[in-house]
Amino acid sequence: MALLAGFAVGLFGAIPPGPVNINVIRKASQNQTREAHRVAMGAALVDTAICGFVAMGFGWALEKVVTNPWTRLGLALFLLAGGLKILIFDRKKDTAGRDDARPGLTAPPKEVSGFRFPFLVGVLQGAANPALLVNWTLLISFLVGHRILPPGLPAAAAFAVGVGLGVYAWFAILVELVERLKDHPAGEWIRHSTFGAGILLLAFGLYFTWRTVAEFVSGSWIP
């Protein structure tokens, strides 16, 4: 029961748009399927770890790291760097690739190089949401309070594993969907939406940076 509940929660919880969704879609559309899956595994590991800590009663230990404004600021700046990389470097590569393409060319499109460690990118992008720990804490408290998630370490571990599997399942579905749309006009638009992907990542980075800096300015966080 805990495993199934975790899978359902992870699957539907990963659907809302975020940096990981953007990155997975972009890599899948650029024929980087393996990298897309590695990014997905990194993000799923983050949710698994957080849910495991919270469900087992060790959320207080994780909170000291995850909610630290310096940690959050570093993750937000990482998103900013990713957005700028896409807007500045990847756009130039995409434009050069389209200019070099010739009519009637049947060879598969050349892969667009990205970060060298996609699994680590997935971990960092997955952890960049400052509300992630709070959201999972509230959700797990709700499930325990309504006896959907039984107390105990075995149930907590099963729930955490289920969440990770559910999160990864959503990204795998996303990759498969992008693969099936490659010959569709929507797939063509996704492949050439470099500017949009960069702007979205930049927007997430700016928003999370603003929230973190606001805490320093307001003095709501005391080191």
DSSP 38-67: HHHHHHHHHHHHHHHHHHTT-HHHHHHHHT
What pTM was estimated for this model as a whole?
Answer: 0.77
Q: Could you give the angle at which helices 19-29 and 194-218 cross, rounded to 10 degrees?
A: 160
pLDDT in tens, 167-178: 999 999 999 998
Domain count, the chain: 1
pLDDT in tens, 23-48: 999 888 888 899 999 999 999 999 99
206 in a domain, yes or no?
Answer: yes
125 in a domain, yes or no?
Answer: yes
Token reading at 96: 């050069």
To which H or E segment does residue 145 belong? helix 132-145
Share of the chain above pLDDT 90, in %: 25
Distance, CA of 128 to CA of 13 (rounded, Å): 16
Domain that holds residue 208: 2-99+110-218
By residue count, the chain amounts to 223
Q: Give the pLDDT band of residue 79 (cuts 50, 70, 90).
A: confident
- Where would I find the beta strands (DSSP E) of the chain? none
